[in-house]
Amino acid sequence: MEVHEVSSTELCVPNFRAYKVLGDDMTLESIRQLAWELDDLDGRDSIQDPEWQALYMQFTTSHVLGTVPYRWESRARTYTHAQLLEVEFDSLNVVVLDGPLLHDGGVCAEEKAAAVRVHLNMCSDQKELLMHELGKRGKAALVRETEEEWELLVPHNLLSQLGFSERVIARWRRHQTLPVSSHWQDAEQAGTDLWKPWDDTVETPCIPDLDLSWL
């Protein structure tokens, strides 16, 4: 493992926008004070590696849509609906983490966390988990997940300190018997009873890619 396989930049980004899918009628505001306990996808009751437990947020249509089925696969609770939030943080201090190591599927999460710790000069004997320590420092992480996709990781312990606004963009309904999406609606155009059949070919103009050209 070479330390030079990780690079970083620290930025303070105003009006930072990102997407987040949550189950049923959950919002970031509703979980603000107990984010780790209530985030069953990447928090307390999840299978996410402890070093990397955080609120994971996306920026592209395809990436967002790929996270919707995770709600139906939750081991902690059964969701009948999911909703997509567009979140705008008033200002966000981020550590931009890049490098081939981070999107190498052959490297385990623990090794990636260790490399990031070394790169960021975190003490090797520090007992805090990586994301928790970043949260204590008031920072989120913007990580290149693949060569084409970025993901925002907001530490659970940081959420309560952040100013943000959010709005529901779209909703999905779970199939009655299978862990898949059966219907969806554009939240800003549809009435509460207006649902359209869902499959992977459906166009979703209400979910545009968010701008990351400043990276």
pLDDT digits (tens, 9 = 90+) for 149-174: 999 999 999 999 999 999 999 999 99
CB neighbour list of residue 50: distance below 8 Å, 6 or more residues apart: 129
Mean pLDDT of 107-134: 87
For the chain, give the mean pLDDT: 92
Local structure of 73: helix, strand or coil:
coil
Mean pLDDT of 184-201: 86
**Model's pTM, two decimal places?**
0.93
Whether the pLDDT of residue 125 is over 70: the answer is no
Q: Please, what's the b/e burial string for 181-190 (b: 16 or more CB within 10 A of its CB; e: otherwise)?
A: beebbebeee
Q: How many angstroms separate the CA atoms of 180 and 101, rounded?
A: 32
Which amino acid would we find at residue 154? V
The CATH number, out of the four listed (3.90.175, 3.30.70, 1.20.120, 3.40.50), of the domain defined by the range 3-197: 3.90.175
Higher pLDDT, 189 or 25: 25
Most confident stretch, 14-18, 43-47, 101-105? 14-18
Which tokens is 153 given? Answer: 């990781």
pLDDT of residue 2: 46
Give residue limits of the domains in the chain. Answer: 3-197
For the segment 26-75, what is each residue's pLDDT rounded down to a tens digit?
999 999 999 999 999 899 888 899 999 999 999 999 999 999 999 999 98
Q: How far is CA 58 from CA 46, 86, 87, 117, in A?
A: 19, 10, 10, 23
pLDDT band at 132 (very low <50, low <70, confident <90, very high): very high
Check residue 146 and give left, alpha or beta (phi > 0: left; psi -120 to 50: alpha).
Answer: beta
Mean pLDDT of 108-124: 88
